[in-house]
Structure formats: C-alpha cells, structure tokens
Structure 1
Amino acid sequence: MAEPTLSREQEHEERRAAALAMGGPKKLEQRRAEGKLNARERIALMLDPGTFRESGLFTTSAVDADRDKTPADGKVTGTGEVDGRRAAVIAYDFTVKGSSSSPVSNKKMSHFKELVVQVGMPLVYLSESTGVRMPDAMGGTGMGAANSKKRFLRQRESPWASAAFGYCFGSAAWHTVSADFAVFRKGSVLAVSSPGLVSRATGQQVDAQELGGWKVHAEVTGYADAVADTDEEAIELIRRFLSYLPSHNGETPPVAPVPSGSGERAAELNDIVPQTRTQTYDVRKVIEIVADTGSVFPIKARYGKSLDTSLVRIGGQSVGIIANNPMFKGGALDGPACDKATSFLVLCDSYNIPVVFLVDQPGFLIGLEAERNKIAGKVINWMNALSLVTVPKIAVTLRKNYGQAYINMGGGLTADTTAGWWSTEVSFMDPTSAVSVVHGVDAESDPELYAQRLAEMAKGTTAYDVARVFGVEQVIDPAETRDFILGALKDHYRARTNGIGEHLLRAWPTSY
C-alpha cells in the first residue's frame, strides 16, 4: 500500500521539526548529563528573548548519504539582538557529527562574516567542533573546491566574540583566535589538531589539556581573554564585552548611565599606593576607584600579569585602561605583557575606545630567557602599534617610570596628554641601579660614597622636574586622578570625526 502523500504544510512542518531536533534526543540528553547546553539553548541565552531570526535551518550536508543525518549541517546561524542592538550568531551544534565543518556549513559561516561587515553589527561564535568533516575534505576535489581568498581576512569592521565551550579544532579554533574577545569555559580544548591525530602523527601520547586546554590559553598563549565555569557564565561575559563596544567601527561605543557613588572613593588612592617605590600594591584597586562603580571588565587577567588591561567606564564612556601591576614581577614588563599591551591597543583603536595608561614600572624584564623569547621585537611591536593609535591617549604616572618602558607607557609625547602624581619619579633607570652600573659601588661596601652617588643619580627625577620641561602637563594629587581623566576625555574628543579614529591597526594580526 502506497504511503499517503504529505501536504506541503505537513512536509514543511516535518522538515522543520527534524532540523530543530538537532542530533536527536539521545545526544541532547547526553549533553544535559555533561552539564552543557545545546546550540539552540546557547543562542537563547546569547540573544534577547524572541529576537532570533534563523537563516539556513534547512541546510544539510551536500553528501547524499548524510542528508538525513545533518540537520542545519551542524551550524545554527542567524541574527537577533543583544541588549537591543542587532548581532549575528553562529552556534556550533556538537550533536551533529561533532559540528564538523563542510562546504555547506562553511558557506553559511562565510555569509554571516560578510553580512556583519555590510550592515555593521557584531558576530558571535558559540564554538565547539571536531574540525573538518571527513571524508568530505579528502582528495583534490575536497581541497581544490575550497574558497579561502578572503576566508581568513580580519579588518575589524565589526566586533567578533567567541566562546570555546569544549573541543575546538579546525574552524572553531581559527574563529576563536581571530576574535576580538575569546572566553574559554573550563574544560575546553583548543588546538590545530585533536590529541588523537597528534598522537598518530608524532607517535607521542598527548593529553588534551596539556595540548591546548583552557589553562594553557589563559596563562601561556594568551588566547583566552576570560575564563568561565559554565556555559551560562561564558555567554554572559560575551554580552558584557559587547556592551563596551560599538556595533561597528564607524560609531562610538554606547554611553551608559553613571552609577551613584562613582568617584566618591578618590581619597583612598593616597592610602592604596605606598610612597616608597619598592613597596608593592595591587593596581586593580586603583582602577576600581578611578572607574565608574562596577564597570571594570578585565581582559587577559591570567596572562602577562605584571600589566593589567581592562575595559571600564569613566563618566559612562567606554575606556581602555593599561596599568602596570607591581604585585607581579614588581610591575616589570615581560614578553607576555608586551603582547598583551599591543593586543589591547589594537582592540581599543579599532573600535574608537580612548586609552588610559596608569604607570608604575621599573622597566622591561631583561635576561637570557627574555632575549630568547624575543623581548626586543615585542617592545618595538608595542611601540609600532602605539604610534598608529588615533584614539585619545591619556597617561598618568603614579610612582616610578623608567627607561624605554616610559615611552611605551605613554611618555615622551606618545600620549596626547599626561599627568603625574606628586610621587612621580622619572629617569632612564632606577637611580640605585644606575649607581651600580656607572660607579660600581653598593651600599654595603661603601655606604657613604654610595649615598653620595645615589643623591647625584636621583637629581632631577621628581614630578616637578619632569613638569619643568613639560614632560607632564600637570602634577596632581592622587585623589584628582578621575577628574583629570574626565577632563582629558572631553579635551581630546575627536570632534572633527565624531569620535571615530582612523583605524590604522584594523588589519593587525589577532595572534603573534
């Protein structure tokens, strides 16, 4: 007996239901048991309720044998709103062939990469993938059909954000390291190839977390801008990140209401920062006081920890803060700190976010390890990026400010405006080190001569000495720091371009 013919409405509803079912009840239940959300649940949290418009629901693999096994071809894509602003989202559906990438799913992703540039809205990747789908990519017909002319081009016309939720190989890795903001859920793994493939190729057994676990990327590579315990936390971090950024690089970031109490703790700065330059403190406490209440959003907090980079709001305006942290390595700048600074400058300049330097540093960390890890090149990468920044740059020296790092941190006219606390001390190097280098004397061998030479080397290093030659424009009480920054933001607003920079760093590599 012939099966009854479905009406068009019935066929449409059956196809829709099959696509929305993703990889089926068993695989969805397995994810729930693992404490992971599925692709559609992630989108529901990412976007404002009721705003998701899906595109590509009825796509499947182009391989006939896989047609009924690949709903949406493993990538759920569409547009919606985040806090009332339009955004595009690409969610990897791990229940469909491990969300492996195919020619069809790549076509979907390419469409949205082009769309966000064309219309001016952010793109969010909710990433988890086993990589390229096999055997689709095998042979000359697989590789020869690839269209990669612009696939890996990033020019930062619109913000990208990515969350790494689990295994991220292939395109999930490429998009995450190309993003302006990447959050890694604990337990996630990002690598060029899976541990199994690496083991087979090299003959060595490789642990997934050792190969490319979240901790490696938070503390060693610096790919992770933030770390989350759960899917929900990772998605909320992306929503928060986007709140500091414009929808595209042709507008300024949204201005938020200033919370009550902002700036009221200014007098505490005199107690937080010790007068003695060798005493440590946590600069994050300074940032919390200078910024609007509750607005500090750290970037790469576990990486290059002698330098703190945070998005904040000051007077409701998005601002990027680059601050030395004496709690770690005395504030000395190592290779990771240099990379972190450069990356953050690129982010801020690309999206019209003014930069504030809070300076208290003894110089760059030198030695065998530093030189072998290319510290010289990293210093100059930073300087090259700084020279191309066209958003307002404001530098405030809190205590010590020595050597080439003085220039990297906004000194020597590399910032648009500068101030120094009355505790400011500026020189080519710490006077105590200079005595040893120049005179070869120390406090133990000849205390009297050492004191004499130290006094000579310390001459002309105070805040007022620097101000006398216009090395800083103002010498301020620490309690005046927030007010100085607020005034500088007004004075250096780019009125001719409505606050839009030239974006000379828009094509700077996202990883280096």
Structure 2
Amino acid sequence: MSFEEKLSEFEKRKSKAEAMGSPRHLAARKEGGILNARERITALVEDGSFEEFGLFATSINPDMRDRTPADSAVCGFGSVDGRMMGINSADFSTVAASSGRVQLKKYNHIRDLCVKNGHPLINLMECGGGRLPDVMGAAGIGAGGESGRYFSRRVVPTAAGVLGLTYGRGAFSCVLSDFTVMRRGAILAVSSPNVTSGSIGETGSLEELGGTNVHGKITGLIDKIVDSDEEALLAIRKFLSYLPDHNRMAPPVVPVPAGADDRGTDLPDLVPIERRKTYDIRRAIEAIVDPDSFFELKERFARPAVTGLARLGGQTVGIIATNPRYKGGALDADSCSKITNFIVLCDSFNVPLVFMADTPGFLIGTEAERRGMAGRIMNFLAAVEEATVPKIALVLRKSFGQAYINMGGGKADETAAWFSSEISFMDPKIAASVVFTGKEDGSGKSLEELTAELSSDTTPYSLAAPYLGHAVIDPRETRSYLISRLAIHSRSLTNGVGEHRLANWPPVSF
C-alpha cells in the first residue's frame, strides 16, 4: 500500500473510533441533554489539552472488534484548571460500556500512570457491568482477579462521577474513589436488575436498587448529588481544587476574598447560648471560613455530623462539626463512620482538621448497639489518634462524654472552647437524675440543687485551669484564633506533609 492509502486507512479507523458507538443511542442522549463520553471530557479539560490513550483498542474477542471502538472507554490525560489529570470516561454508546479485558487494561494503565507520576485521577462512570461472554468461565473470572485494581494506598486523589446506569466494576471504581458525585436519574449497584431478578427473584425499581436517595441518604456512598452532567463535572473540579496533586505536596493556597473577616461578629446570634435551642451549624461554619469556600460532603447522610472541605486564610482545612439541628447533635453510628472516612481523606492528603463540637454525646440505645456503636466509636477515635495532620478541637456550646474526646478534646494538637461553653461527662441534668436518690439516701437535695452542683465544674475555665484546654476564646474571635493556631501547628519541618498513617484504611468504613 502507498503512503496515501495507509493514511486513508488511518483516518478511517480514527474517525470510526472517535465516532463511538450507536448513532441512535448518541442522538437520544443529545436530545435528553446527557453528555456522551467524549463530550464529558471536552467539558472538563482545557481546550486542546486532552491526550488520548488507546484510541485504536478494541475488544479482545475477534467477533466484536468492529462493534467496540476504543473498547467502550475514552482514556487519557488533560489539563483541568491548569493541573494535569488522568481521566477514564466510559462510553455507554458502545456495548453499554460493559467491562471487557482491553477496557480494563486501559483503565488500569491511566490509573497506574497517575499513581506513578503524581496526577489526580477522574473516573466518569456509566457501565452495564461485566461483558458477556468475555467474563464467563474460569478463565474469564480468573482474568478479572489477575488484572483487577481494587485497592491502593492513597497516593493521588481520585474523583468519580456516577453519570448513568453503573454496575459491576464501574460501580466499584466509584466506591473506591475519594469523592463521588451522582447525577439524579443515575444508578449505582453491584448488579443490574436483570441479574438481581434472575439470581434471587427480587424485583423493584431502579431507584430502589441504587438511586440517589439510597446512596445519598442511606448508604452514604455518594458525596454529592447534582442535576446534570455539567454540574457533576463542576463538583469534581471543585473537590480537586482543595487537594494537592499527590500526597507528597501540601494543598493549594488561594487568595483570601475581600471581607472574609467581617462575619465573625454574627456568631453569637447564629449559635444561641441556650444549649437546648436548635440551630444549623453550617451557618456558623460559613461565618468562620473564607466566603463561599465550604464544600460539604455527604450532606444528606448522617446529618448529626457535618463534614466538608473549606479554606481558612486561603488554606484548605477539613471541617468536622456536630449539628444540633438533627438529633440534637447526638452522634449516631452512621455519623461515626462518616467522620472516620473524612478523617482518612484529610490525613491522606495533608489537610488540617478543625473539630467544632456542640453535642450531648453519642446516641445510645438498643438500635445503636445493634449497629455496632462501640466499634464505630473506637474506629472514629483510632482515626483521630492516628491522623498526623494538624488538629484543632473547639467546643462551641457543649460537649459531653466520650464524644468530647472523639471530637478531638485532649487528642488534638490544641483544644479550645468558647467562654460560654459547657464540658462534662454528661449533661448535668441527666447526671443529676442518675445520682439523685434522695428518698433512699436521705440527702434531701432536690433535682434542681443537684443539677446546679454538677454544673458548677462544667465551664471552660475548669478545663483551662489544669491546662487540659489550651485556650478559652470569645466566639467572635474564632476565625482569627483558628488561622493563627493553624499557622503555629503547621508542619514546617515536612513542608506540610504528614505521615499518612491512614492511607491504607479500607475504602469505606462502616
């Protein structure tokens, strides 16, 4: 063949691969306002920056090579907000982006290059599960065990989007990511309804199987829920903006917005001094951190706990707070797991932690014990103790019992409290009801008198006197206190890089 003939063949093969799969499917997506695999990458990266890997890959099955352009995956590297990132984008228009051996090799190659060279990884998933008959038989499943990548030490941050029907390996890659955003209408499940129905005879809607309500509210596997592909990509970009490219770097520092120090005076109004009044801790967080910088994770899951990334003085911090608006701020089993997973994320990528406690303690009772409350509390505490990033614990209004310790009290680099706060083993009124046995012991003291006695030692000054607390502060000075103390506790000797003791923690802690 002449050069011109070979060029013609090259252009033809390239065009076919770039055109992806079913034209009918692609047209239906466009009509429904859903981006395809290549459009998602185009919307994510800077113009002209994407370098594709494996454009001419096809199925390992010779009979399917003509029907599997790029083997249903668009993979490569591109610039996202000026930073090089690896991207795996599933092409659902080609055999439903089912997991084939060549596709898996492409995904693994991008992932391995990211880990080796220190680039964040983005997985845009939408796949129909394992590709039949490729995965059938002993050799089929054996190849999956041999070549699969199901865990790695947290070296680079990973973000994933659940952007359609996502089963099998596609679902697993999302669960294994540090951040997962899900578009409404998408589904995340181990297996499709057809497999579920055939295996166990269970029927139900897709939403019940693995929709946004299931994973946003019940399982906590999803960090953010959005309405469109474009919003999902924006959420991924925003999440990664708080983190370094890899774990040997400190997080990025950005300019501090004008007026950032002006809102702290509102805190006495945002947090009522009466400890039985409810309020939304998120409003207080927003008054403390840099304007518009609070990026909450798992907002609908385990609502007594609030976790999110933010900036203080332009620097990334991880916020862990209790929210009296839900269950009075008492931390339940799911709250423990939510906080544990967040500590793992922050410790793995050198993000300092700020604990903001306003809690009556852990939620106890029969249901809590059946959900392994004691184990979850200890997992939570183990993560606090093992984290080597700077940690500041702050009591806003009250902090009682073991929850005081888990929320950093005595475990953080610095423990402080608002001058109006209360700290004790338990709520003094509850303690009085336990202690009060006047009719039996002849003390003659009323419940109110005992409560007053037990409350006398719960002030932050009682914590500060034996130097168990390092500071008592005016609520209005919270922002300046945190910024100055974080500067003192910064890990200058290691350039802001921690020891990453939690980097091998399981992907999801329950």
Q: Is residue 218–residue 224 contact of structure 1 (8 Å, CA) maintained in 2?
A: yes
Q: Which residue matches 1:416?
A: 413
What is the rounded CA distance, in whole Å, between the counterparts of 1:420 and 1:170 in structure 2?
A: 47
Q: Is residue 298–residue 310 contact of structure 1 (8 Å, CA) maintained in 2?
A: yes
Q: Which residue matches 1:106?
A: 104
Task: Give the SS at the match of 1:461.
Answer: coil
* Structure 1 unaligned spans of 5+: none
Instruction: Using the TM superposition, give the Cα deviation of residue 147 of structure 1 relative to its aligned residue in structure 2, in angstroms.
Output: 4.6
Tell me the amino acid that sits aligned with residue 203 of structure 1.
G
Show CA shifts across 1:447-492 (max 9, x none): 9711111111112100111111212211111011001100111100
Instruction: Using the TM superposition, give the Cα deviation of residue 24 of structure 1 relative to its aligned residue in structure 2, in angstroms.
Output: 3.7
Show CA shifts across 1:376-413 (max 9, x none): 111000011111100000111111110000000010x2
Q: Which residue matches 2:503?
A: 506
Tell me the amino acid that sits aligned with residue 394 of structure 2.
V
* Structure 2 unaligned spans of 5+: none
Q: 1:37 to 1:468 in 2, by over 3 A?
A: same
Tell me the amino acid that sits aligned with residue 215 of structure 1.
N
Q: Which residue matches 1:327?
A: 325
What is the rounded CA distance, in whole Å, between the counterparts of 2:105 and 2:13 in structure 1?
A: 21
What is the rounded CA distance, in whole Å, between the counterparts of 2:147 and 2:453 in structure 1?
A: 61
Q: Is residue 438–residue 445 contact of structure 2 (8 Å, CA) maintained in 1?
A: no
Choose which of 402, 406, 422 in structure 2 pairs with 1:425.
422
Q: Which residue matches 1:474?
A: 471
Q: Is residue 198–residue 206 contact of structure 1 (8 Å, CA) maintained in 2?
A: no
What is the rounded CA distance, in whole Å, between the counterparts of 1:462 and 1:495 in structure 2?
A: 34
Q: Which residue matches 2:337?
A: 339
**Aligned-pair RMSD on alpha carbons?**
1.7
Q: Which residue matches 2:16?
A: 18
What is the rounded CA distance, in whole Å, between the counterparts of 2:75 and 2:109 in structure 1?
A: 10
What is the rounded CA distance, in whole Å, between the counterparts of 1:279 and 1:172 in structure 2?
A: 45
Instruction: Using the TM superposition, give the Cα deviation of residue 6 of structure 1 relative to its aligned residue in structure 2, in angstroms.
Output: 6.7
Q: Which residue matches 1:174?
A: 172
Q: 1:5 to 1:116 in 2, by over 3 A?
A: closer
Q: Is residue 333–residue 368 contact of structure 2 (8 Å, CA) maintained in 1?
A: yes
TM-score by structure 1 length? 0.96
Show CA shifts across 1:49-106 (max 9, x none): 2110000000000111111100000010000111101100000000000000111011
Q: Which residue matches 2:136?
A: 138
Instruction: Using the TM superposition, give the Cα deviation of residue 305 of structure 1 relative to its aligned residue in structure 2, in angstroms.
Output: 0.5
What does 1:200-349 correspond to in 2, within 5 Å?
A: 200-349=198-347
Task: Give the SS at the match of 1:400.
Answer: strand
Instruction: Using the TM superposition, give the Cα deviation of residue 146 of structure 1 relative to its aligned residue in structure 2, in angstroms.
Output: 3.2
Q: 1:495 to 1:369 in 2, by over 3 A?
A: same
Show CA shifts across 1:265-302 (max 9, x none): 11100111111111111110111111101111001111
Q: 1:276 to 1:196 in 2, by over 3 A?
A: same
Asked if 1:463 is matched to 2:460, the reply is yes
Q: 1:373 to 1:8 in 2, by over 3 A?
A: same
TM-score by structure 2 length? 0.97
Instruction: Using the TM superposition, give the Cα deviation of residue 352 of structure 1 relative to its aligned residue in structure 2, in angstroms.
Output: 0.3
Tell me the amino acid that sits aligned with residue 470 of structure 1.
Y
What is the rounded CA distance, in whole Å, between the counterparts of 1:441 and 1:111 in structure 2?
A: 72
Q: Which residue matches 1:491?
A: 488
Q: 1:387 to 1:233 in 2, by over 3 A?
A: same
What is the rounded CA distance, in whole Å, between the counterparts of 1:48 and 1:58 in structure 2?
A: 23
What is the rounded CA distance, in whole Å, between the counterparts of 2:329 and 2:205 in structure 1?
A: 34
What is the rounded CA distance, in whole Å, between the counterparts of 2:489 and 2:437 in structure 1?
A: 46
Q: Is residue 246–residue 351 contact of structure 1 (8 Å, CA) maintained in 2?
A: yes
